[in-house]
């Protein structure tokens, strides 16, 4: 804070402009002062050595008299800087070799420095400094980033061009149809322009490129020979985090660095909107949906500010790009509505917007959009169109189950029929006579992804009716919960084991595993009903085997995903509780009844400390 100095407190010697002032050397170097790091006052200092910025380590000569906010000292030693795309880059600064910051992040600044710094500079420092706990856990949190980086250093963080080409090709072949917010030909033109003139690139678009490469890399195996240029040294041992996952996380953090340095909090462009949506989708399928929750709110506001939900008399390509991104924004909210069931997304249904065209990328040109005759063949946008319908349906269902109408059997059957109708449409689009299309393995993957939405909605919809102790028990609802739980676990196992789906193993790192965990809890809960209420035709050994396989799968994928690691611990506890075949006499049936109910909040799954593990016999699978 700034203190007012009275006349009697001022120095008795008048300081005129020509007066001699005693100079003193700055306590901290410029780099440490700017980044709020503790400086050991050497030259170069230890902090600059750790961050490989020895050439930028310099000290100012400051006047002992107070200076105004506009006064600046004179550098003692500093290399001649070069201005590159608005960034001041030292010509001798070595390239970054790693993305980890220093653990000693917060050293106090004098009061005069914090009060005299320009407002923009103050917030820049606040926003770009991560907390120690983030760096220690290698999180993908938006605040877990390194200090401000020159543009050349950011560009050097990209994989070699041959790898980037391969990752982009892989992305548009296997990933983009699941989240097709990008127009492929437009992105390719932007990428070619970047390769030709990298230093003129828009930082927000560069964030998009980093996120695309990050997502593609996370879907691949480090043994792929086409990725060898990415590894200066052979990848780490299999007991550690896979090299592809580690590099993918670094690229995603660099994407956030680009967005922050582009001041996306206050400066919005369409490229900002595209990049932010891709980052959120990346987070949802790598770490957890909850990490993207705050960013999703920002993306919604940015999309509205850019008027992406209304047509703006732009050309066909630009109009379609905005429609696609708005559709992608809505589908990202589907994750939140289904997994955080107490969050009402129904207000989004009132925002009117024209959906994107159900066509291939090549059909969208500057001359217009080529609408093909309806032949029943899927397009690049078919999965997105199905997800848009699911967004509307899931929003209505989640609004229903969160209100007083949740026990209305008429609405239960109406929603049940709506989900079944969607499933029929997917069967006709992606299956051949009810079987996977061996000539197009991607189509079967799309079918599996959409089915996880349907069965997850079934579980949410039938939950209040699944237990015989519930006042509104319906045997058909328990049958539905059991069949949908088994279906979700089966899809999870296929994504893990089936060679046909090898390119989609990455889906298990995010929301798909959350749905499978939900299914496991639902199955345990249904089978905990009284023995007389459990269908005697069930083969309980098969259910146990399904749950054991799911636990093993979660364990084997825990090195790639924190979600799978936490899910594994929860499933192991469930298995321990289910150690005996019959529930003991007098087991707390009222808590059994609420088991499924209490586990429908993702936040409890992700924090095992919130779970009550002391229910004696609560997770035992009853035998008949």
Is residue 295, in this structure, part of any structural domain at all? yes
**More confident site: 111 or 386:** 386
**More confident site: 511 or 602:** 511
What confidence tens digit (pLDDT) does each residue in 242-287 have?
A: 888 889 989 999 999 999 999 888 888 999 999 999 999 998 887 6
Mean pLDDT of the chain: 75
Distance separating alpha carbons of residues 330 and 347, to the nearest angstrom: 11
Whether 407 has a pLDDT exceeding 80, the answer reads: yes
Is residue 297, in this structure, part of any structural domain at all? yes
**More confident site: 486 or 79:** 486
What tokens does 315 get?
């050309």
pLDDT bucket at 16, cuts 50 / 70 / 90: very low
Q: Quick one: 208 exposed, middle or buried, by C-beta within 10 A (0-12, 13-18, 19+)?
A: buried
pLDDT value at residue 24: 53
Is residue 353, in this structure, part of any structural domain at all? yes
Residues 6 or more apart whose CB falls under 8 angstroms from that of 424 comprise none
What confidence tens digit (pLDDT) does each residue in 48-103 have?
A: 887 777 888 888 755 444 433 333 333 333 333 333 333 333 333 333 333 333 22
Contact of 602 with 592, CB cutoff 8 Å: no
Is residue 602, in this structure, part of any structural domain at all? no
Q: Scanning the structure block, which residue is given the tokens 């480090």?
A: 222
Domain that residue 276 falls in:
139-369
Contact of 399 with 344, CB cutoff 8 Å: yes
Is residue 61, in this structure, part of any structural domain at all? no
pLDDT value at residue 341: 60
**More confident site: 93 or 34:** 34
Distance separating alpha carbons of residues 146 and 138, to the nearest angstrom: 12
Question: Which one-letter DSSP state was computed for residue 295?
Answer: H
Question: CA dihedral in degrees (455, 459, 461, 467; nearest 10)?
Answer: 150
pLDDT bucket at 624, cuts 50 / 70 / 90: very low
Question: Which one-letter DSSP state was computed for residue 525?
Answer: H
Is residue 250, in this structure, part of any structural domain at all? yes
Distance separating alpha carbons of residues 433 and 424, to the nearest angstrom: 12
Reference 354, options 344, 367, 369, 337; nearest CA is 369
Distance separating alpha carbons of residues 330 and 392, to the nearest angstrom: 9
pLDDT value at residue 26: 62
Is residue 548, in this structure, part of any structural domain at all? no
3-state class of 436 per DSSP? strand
Whether 142 has a pLDDT exceeding 50, the answer reads: no
**More confident site: 376 or 415:** 415
Which of 179-183, 480-484, 584-588 has the least mean pLDDT?
Answer: 584-588
Whether 134 has a pLDDT exceeding 50, the answer reads: no
Count of structural domains, the chain: 1
**More confident site: 188 or 8:** 188
Q: With residue 261 as reference, give the H or E element that holds it.
A: helix 243-261
Question: Which one-letter DSSP state was computed for residue 368?
Answer: E
Contact of 339 with 511, CB cutoff 8 Å: yes
Is residue 258, in this structure, part of any structural domain at all? yes
């Amino acid at each position: 804070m700034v203190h007012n100095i009275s006349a009697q407190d001022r120095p008795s010697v008048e300081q005129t402009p020509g007066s001699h002032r005693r100079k003193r050397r700055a306590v901290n170097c410029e780099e440490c002062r700017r980044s709020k790091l503790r400086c050991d006052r050497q030259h170069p200092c230890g902090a600059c050595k750790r961050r490989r910025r020895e050439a930028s380590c310099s000290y100012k000569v400051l006047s002992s008299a107070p200076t105004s906010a506009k006064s600046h000292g004179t550098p003692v030693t500093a290399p001649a800087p070069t201005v590159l795309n608005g960034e001041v880059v030292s010509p001798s600064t070595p390239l970054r070799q790693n993305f980890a910051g220093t653990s000693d992040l917060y050293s106090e600044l004098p009061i005069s420095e914090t009060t005299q710094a320009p407002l923009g500079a103050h917030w820049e420092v606040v926003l770009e400094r991560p907390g120690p706990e983030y760096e220690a856990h290698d999180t993908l949190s938006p605040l877990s980033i390194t200090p401000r980086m020159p543009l050349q250093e950011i560009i050097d963080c990209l994989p070699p061009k041959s790898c980037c080409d391969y990752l982009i090709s892989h992305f548009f072949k296997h990933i983009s149809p699941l989240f097709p917010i990008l127009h492929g030909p437009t992105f390719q033109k932007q990428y070619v322009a970047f390769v030709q003139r990298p230093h003129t690139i828009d930082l927000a678009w560069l964030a998009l490129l980093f996120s695309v490469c990050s997502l593609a890399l996370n879907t691949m195996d480090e043994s792929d020979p086409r990725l060898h240029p990415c590894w200066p040294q052979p990848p780490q041992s299999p007991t550690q985090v896979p090299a592809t996952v580690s590099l993918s996380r670094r690229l995603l953090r660099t994407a956030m660095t680009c967005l922050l340095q582009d001041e996306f909090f206050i400066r919005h462009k369409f490229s900002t909107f595209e990049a932010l949506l891709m980052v959120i989708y990346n987070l949802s399928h790598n770490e957890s949906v909850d990490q993207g929750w705050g960013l999703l709110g920002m993306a919604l506001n940015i999309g509205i500010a850019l008027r992406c939900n209304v047509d703006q008399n732009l050309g066909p390509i630009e109009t379609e790009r905005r429609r696609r991104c708005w559709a992608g924004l809505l589908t990202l909210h589907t994750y939140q509505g289904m997994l955080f069931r107490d969050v009402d997304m129904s207000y989004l249904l009132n925002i009117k917007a024209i959906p994107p065209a159900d066509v291939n990328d090549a059909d969208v040109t500057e001359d217009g959009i080529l609408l093909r005759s309806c032949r029943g063949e899927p397009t690049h946008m078919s999965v997105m169109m199905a997800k848009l319908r699911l967004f509307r349906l899931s929003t209505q269902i989640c609004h229903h189950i969160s209100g007083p109408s949740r026990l209305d059997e008429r609405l239960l059957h109406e929603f049940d029929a709506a989900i079944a109708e969607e499933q029929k449409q997917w069967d006709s689009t992606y299956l051949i006579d009810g079987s996977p299309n061996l000539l197009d393995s991607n189509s079967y993957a799309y079918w599996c992804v959409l089915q996880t939405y349907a069965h997850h909605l079934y579980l949410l919809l039938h939950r209040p009716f699944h237990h015989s102790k519930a006042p509104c028990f319906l045997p058909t609802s328990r049958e539905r919960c059991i069949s949908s739980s088994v279906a979700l676990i089966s899809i999870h196992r296929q994504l893990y084991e089936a060679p046909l789906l090898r390119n989609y193993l990455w889906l298990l790192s995010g929301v798909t595993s959350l749905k499978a965990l939900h299914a496991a809890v639902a199955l345990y809960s249904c089978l905990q009903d009284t023995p007389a209420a459990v269908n005697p035709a069930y083969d309980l050994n098969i259910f146990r085997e399904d749950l054991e396989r799911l636990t093993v799968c979660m364990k084997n994928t825990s090195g790639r995903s924190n979600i799978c690691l936490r899910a594994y611990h929860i499933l192991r506890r469930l298995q321990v509780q289910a150690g005996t075949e019959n529930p003991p006499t007098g087991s707390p049936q009222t808590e059994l009844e609420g088991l499924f109910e209490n586990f429908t909040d993702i936040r409890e799954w992700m924090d095992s400390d919130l779970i009550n593990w002391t229910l004696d016999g609560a997770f035992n699978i009853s035998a008949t």
